[in-house]
């Protein structure tokens, strides 16, 4: 059973700013990862965030194992996304 995918307002804005072809790749990979998140997502050191690699793009999310939900927090290019973390 696939996990639910939830988007923060910031992640939705990030996705809308991407080129259409890149945005489609991000959504397609996320939908594929929702089938088995532990296979695709990698936990970041020092926090509860997980990353999903889509070529040179990264998606940061929180995985809620109790409700089987993926909360997408940010989507951005690889060098920029890690600088934005608090």
- Number of structural domains in the chain: 1
What residues are paired with 4 via a beta bridge? 69
Share above pLDDT 70 across residues of the chain, in percent, rounded to a whole number = 97
Return the CATH number at 77: 3.30.2310.20
DSSP string, 6-66: EE-HHHHHHHHHS-HHHHHHHHHHHHHHTT-HHHH-EEPTTSSEEEEEETTEEEEEEEETT
What does the pLDDT look like over 17-43, one tens digit per residue? 999 999 999 999 999 999 999 999 999
Q: Is residue 47 part of a domain?
A: yes
State the pLDDT at residue 84.
60
Q: Is residue 86 part of a domain?
A: no
Q: Is residue 12 part of a domain?
A: yes
pTM of the full predicted structure?
A: 0.89
């Amino acid at each position: 059973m696939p996990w639910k995918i939830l988007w923060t307002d910031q992640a939705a804005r990030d996705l809308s700013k991407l080129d259409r072809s890149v945005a489609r790749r991000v959504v397609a990979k996320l939908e594929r990862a929702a089938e088995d998140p532990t296979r695709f997502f990698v936990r970041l050191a020092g926090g509860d965030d997980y990353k999903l690699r889509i070529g040179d793009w990264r998606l940061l999310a929180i995985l809620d194992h109790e409700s089987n939900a993926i909360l997408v927090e940010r989507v951005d290019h690889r060098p920029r996304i890690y600088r934005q973390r608090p």
